[in-house]
Amino acid sequence: MLKIERLFQKPEFAEMPRPMSRPLVEPCRVIPTKDAFGEYNGMVVEVAKNYKEVQENAIEKNRANETTVYMTTVAPGRMKGYHGHLLRTSTYTLVIGKAEVHMLNLFTKELFVYRIDADSAPYRTITEPGYFIALKNIGESVATFIGVPNPPYNPQINEQLELKPHEVEAAITNKIVKVKRFSCTMEGVSELPNNDVFSV
């Protein structure tokens, strides 16, 4: 039988760094969000940050306290977006609920709509800078996404642009933007018949 004293004398433990402070425990920042009409549509919760107090960002030492991971919720029947990024790649993973992720390319005039049910097949979407993104809850309960911005979110760098949902609707109605719909299931991603070209 292995004695506990011997367990803590294993040679590989000598490679462990010596912590210089206690673990950091703090409340998460919670930000209620509103849609284009000023109505509540969910919230954002900061999950992870670069903390200089614990360990400096090994890549960019002057970018401590940036948000690296966050959770965003969308209330039933509500939408967040459309927002675009000049510099940032956006990763969204639906972990709870049913939702659509909308990704609009203004250059090709294409709107990609991916329908996801996290309870049966969680998916993540990754969009490079230049896309306008919206998250739409199509279920009866709150839809919860995990967001990972790359580079991390820095409130001092303003690189986000906004596009109103009714502007996108008008572009679809006027046949300026073409909608391409997809279903994300355990079997993979499949394109759906585009029967609703006048609305998203």
Domain at 35-191, CATH class: mainly beta
Using one digit for the tens of pLDDT, what is the confidence trace for 79-103?
A: 998 999 998 899 999 999 999 999 9
Using one digit for the tens of pLDDT, what is the confidence trace for 7-60?
A: 566 666 667 777 778 887 888 889 999 988 889 999 999 998 876 655 555 555
Q: Radius of gyration over alpha carbons of the chain, in Å?
A: 21
Q: Does the pLDDT value for residue 195 go beyond 80?
A: no
Q: pTM (2 decimals)?
A: 0.82
Q: Nearest 5 degrees, angle CA 95-CA 121-CA 113?
A: 85
* E-assigned strand segments in the chain: 30-34, 40-49, 67-74, 79-85, 89-96, 98-105, 110-117, 124-127, 131-137, 143-150, 160-162, 178-185, 188-191
Q: Does the pLDDT value for residue 129 go beyond 70?
A: yes
Q: What is the pLDDT of residue 36?
A: 81
Judged by average pLDDT, the poorest of 50-59, 136-145, 155-164, 174-183 is 50-59
Candidates 59, 63, 26; CA nearest to 153 is 63
| CB-based contact 179:168 (threshold 8 Å) | no
Domain boundaries, the chain: 35-191
